[in-house]
Structure 1
Amino acid sequence: VAATAIGLLLILFFVPKTHYRDPSARMDWIGGLLLGGGLTALTYGIGQGTDWGWTSAGTLGCVIGGLAAIALFVVSQKRIAQPLVHLAMLGRRKVWTVILATALTGGALFGTGIISSLLVLYPAIPTISDGLGMTATHAAVIGLPASILILAVGFGTGVLLRKVDARLPLILGGLISTAGYLAQAAYHYTDAELIWWGALFAIGFGMIVAVIPILMMRAVSAEEQAIASGVQWMLIGVVTTLVTTLTYVILARDGKVLEGTQFYLDQGYKNAFYFAAGTVFLGTLAGLLIPRLKPAGDVEAA
């Protein structure tokens, strides 16, 4: 709540207003309800699949119902005069490749943060749990260098993006993040290992987070930025939910339940880090499909 309140104040007093307005625009309420309801049902069903059972009526009902609503949304967008999402825009190579690459890389980065959290905070119980048993304060202190690096690299990347191809930080950041995940899979047993390899991962993380919105701004016109960015972050959220759910499934395969609590063994943590590395790497490969985008000067002029 505090962080959100501070963010709101920063937006109100420091972020400049958008001058472009389309006086003829109308809200597509039907499309919004179909898309929002469909994605909510789909992600909720997937998120509950482990607890409910993947073939349970509740899981299948949410997933099938969500997919049906999304299909109806696509149909509605082709027939309405002022659609919520212009499907022709999403069909352009610049747009769908940016969405694919950023959804995979962003979803993987945001959805797998639970691995490190569980690893450092869960207790060490022989044959039951291979957590490191840190206090929350200890975990926060050793995570501070990575947090500072994310901010610094993100800011630096933003400055450099005025002069460099926006695809470069995505691809380079994806490769660095992949290496960071692989290193953490092998070395995650001491404070020093967590700090050093967490810092490597943080460099890639900062680059990717900084470039995600810039890529979309350079892929579409000024009039399309709001809708395109909305679709981009919506799909990043969906992939994040999927990745988070799959991460828990992977962890649990090498875990034990003690008195109703799920614990995780070292092999589970390793496999989860490998899964995270693979997902980010797929997003990096998708980044190679992105064609050359508009330079920064054209975006700022628009």
Structure 2
Amino acid sequence: MPQPPTAVPRTGKVIATLALAGVTAAVMQTLVTPLLADLPKILHTSPSNAAWVVTATLLVAGVCVPISGRLGDMIGKRRMLLACCVPLIIGSVVCALSNGVVPMIIGRGLQGIGMGMIPLGIALLRDVLPAEKLSSSIALVSASMGIGGGIGLPLAAAVAQYADWRFLFWGAAALAVTVAVMIVAFVPEVPAAAKGQRFDVVGALGLAIGLVCLLLAVSKGADWGWGSTTTLGLIAAAVVSLAAWGWYEWRTTYPLVDLRTTVRPRVLLTNLASVCIGFGMYAGMLVVPQLLQFPAATGYGLGQTMLAAGLWMLPGGLMMMAVSPLGGRLTNARGPKVTLVCGAVVLAAGYGAALLLSGTAPGLMVATMVINSGVALAYGAMPALIMGAVPLAETGAANGFNALMRSLGTSVGAAVVGVVLAQMTTTVGGVTFTSESGFRTGLLMGGALALLSGIVAALIPAPRTPRLTPPVLADPGAPADPTAGTAHTAVSK
């Protein structure tokens, strides 16, 4: 018979461990940003080949995040968190020792495998924390991705500017080892809610093929040409393979992603809002650093170095850390739907501030702080909405799929805004560069998508039967019930 959950000791240390795991995942993504211009020289290769250092992580993470979530449901989330640390450590060491582009791409791909730590950690919170701490903890761990990016970028820029670039990857390896040790020491083992179910190998392969084709087309379409045979062929292959994957997933007994759950209005609309939020967030991440670093001679650039630009953006990352607990309190008081709508409105307001204050570095700093405040609210609310609408046995997979939706939003946002910045140009003295109107259009697009996400979030229906008791952990000796477990009241309003 199921037993009531026992008290979990050291909940503060559990939350700190999972938040650090999220920061580590974010640092892995922003690690190479200060090196992008120098990578061709460092790796003795062409700029197009060096770009795969970024693309490899994106592709592998897109494929592995939902798979990691499902495996966490089946064999235990703590075990999968530790498993994610292994490729992060090995990949960082491989990158630190690389002298060419191929080992660097391999190392970055290994780092991408470990990106599933964030949705796994969020899903684990539902299993181990009391109801009164759940919303604020979800908000903090969710926001850790932005916190890590905001803090990691200036640190990485400082190391790249004043020390050997290899120290970046040795530091990343040490950070991943620290996370692994803390998981062993502080994170409790929880019985797997989907233990005994069969892993969907066909679904994993189908999703991998579809996502690789889609993400390749989105991330490399600008380089290859959006009308090129390669890009169009990849888009067609993605449509066919993802349609076939969806047909198979709908009919199999133990799917990688339960589409019957995914099409429920609360889950479907939350995922759609996540795509829009991802797009809206990344527009600012592309535009603001370039505005800060563009030469002042252009009349709208602010002439900052990479390190200075990172420092101007640092308060935005710290703002996420400050706002995320407030988002948790708002979720407890009014429900995650209200928090998501508020986050979208604040994000849109941040883009409005950026349009008004883009003429100075302090103005862009303020705008970034507002933008990141909106992201912190939204990112804390989305997992709460997802976990309030799916069975306990699907929290890992459902959070992984939601993380994938956010990643698709950022990928599409990067591609679309990148095209805008590349097409809206001006030429001075024989040099062509992005015009001021191009940057302003990118900011307008980010604000528009933020408002759209708020509209979508406002349409999310209320839960049908919220429960007033915390979830019941399954007896390890009892068969898994795929319909068991609903969210805490704190995340189901």
TM-score, length of structure 1 as denominator length: 0.89
2:296 to 124, 147, 169: 124
Find out whether 1:282 has 2:465 as its counterpart: no
1:60 to 232, 236, 245: 232
In the alignment, the residues of structure 2 paired with residue 300 and residue 82 of structure 1 have an alpha-carbon distance, to the nearest angstrom, of 22
SS at 2:388 equivalent: helix
User: Alpha-carbon deviation of 1:111?
Assistant: 5.1
Name the residue aligned to 2:193. 21
Pairs within 5 Å for 1:98-109: 98-109=270-281
> Over aligned residues, Cα RMSD in angstroms?
2.5
Q: What's the % identity of the aligned pairs?
A: 26
Find out whether 1:161 has 2:331 as its counterpart: yes
In the alignment, the residues of structure 1 paired with residue 411 and residue 213 of structure 2 have an alpha-carbon distance, to the nearest angstrom, of 12
User: Alpha-carbon deviation of 1:12?
Assistant: 4.1
The AA in structure 2 aligned to 1:173 is G
In the alignment, the residues of structure 1 paired with residue 467 and residue 375 of structure 2 have an alpha-carbon distance, to the nearest angstrom, of 22
Find out whether 1:192 has 2:351 as its counterpart: no
In the alignment, the residues of structure 1 paired with residue 430 and residue 234 of structure 2 have an alpha-carbon distance, to the nearest angstrom, of 26
Q: CA distance change for structure 1 residues 10 and 101 in 2, over 3 Å: closer, same or farther?
A: farther
In the alignment, the residues of structure 1 paired with residue 467 and residue 378 of structure 2 have an alpha-carbon distance, to the nearest angstrom, of 17
The AA in structure 2 aligned to 1:230 is G
Contact 2:276 / 2:449 at 8 angstroms: preserved in 1? yes
User: Alpha-carbon deviation of 1:7?
Assistant: 4.4
Paired residues in the alignment total 300
Find out whether 1:94 has 2:266 as its counterpart: yes
Name the residue aligned to 2:406. 236
User: Alpha-carbon deviation of 1:256?
Assistant: 4.3
In the alignment, the residues of structure 1 paired with residue 358 and residue 388 of structure 2 have an alpha-carbon distance, to the nearest angstrom, of 38
In the alignment, the residues of structure 2 paired with residue 252 and residue 296 of structure 1 have an alpha-carbon distance, to the nearest angstrom, of 51
User: Alpha-carbon deviation of 1:172?
Assistant: 0.8
Pairs within 5 Å for 1:17-56: 17-56=189-228
User: Alpha-carbon deviation of 1:10?
Assistant: 4.3
The AA in structure 1 aligned to 2:451 is F
Deviation string 1:138-194 (CA, Å, 9 cap, x unpaired) is 222222222211111013323443333111111111111101102202221112212
In the alignment, the residues of structure 2 paired with residue 116 and residue 224 of structure 1 have an alpha-carbon distance, to the nearest angstrom, of 38
User: Alpha-carbon deviation of 1:8?
Assistant: 4.2
Contact 2:292 / 2:361 at 8 angstroms: preserved in 1? no
Unaligned runs of 5+ residues in structure 2 are: 1-168, 473-484, 486-493
Q: CA distance change for structure 1 residues 9 and 157 in 2, over 3 Å: closer, same or farther?
A: farther
Contact 2:320 / 2:372 at 8 angstroms: preserved in 1? yes
Deviation string 1:95-150 (CA, Å, 9 cap, x unpaired) is 11111112211342145411111111232344xx8432201222222222222111
Deviation string 1:256-276 (CA, Å, 9 cap, x unpaired) is 479998632211111100000
In the alignment, the residues of structure 2 paired with residue 239 and residue 260 of structure 1 have an alpha-carbon distance, to the nearest angstrom, of 35
User: Alpha-carbon deviation of 1:300?
Assistant: 4.9
Q: CA distance change for structure 1 residues 68 and 9 in 2, over 3 Å: closer, same or farther?
A: farther
SS at 2:358 equivalent: coil
Name the residue aligned to 1:222. 392
Pairs within 5 Å for 1:173-188: 173-188=343-358
Q: CA distance change for structure 1 residues 228 and 193 in 2, over 3 Å: closer, same or farther?
A: same
SS at 1:273 equivalent: helix
In the alignment, the residues of structure 1 paired with residue 430 and residue 264 of structure 2 have an alpha-carbon distance, to the nearest angstrom, of 50
User: Alpha-carbon deviation of 1:41?
Assistant: 0.8
Q: CA distance change for structure 1 residues 88 and 58 in 2, over 3 Å: closer, same or farther?
A: same
Deviation string 1:175-234 (CA, Å, 9 cap, x unpaired) is 111011022022211122122222222221221122221121112121221121121111
Unaligned runs of 5+ residues in structure 1 are: none
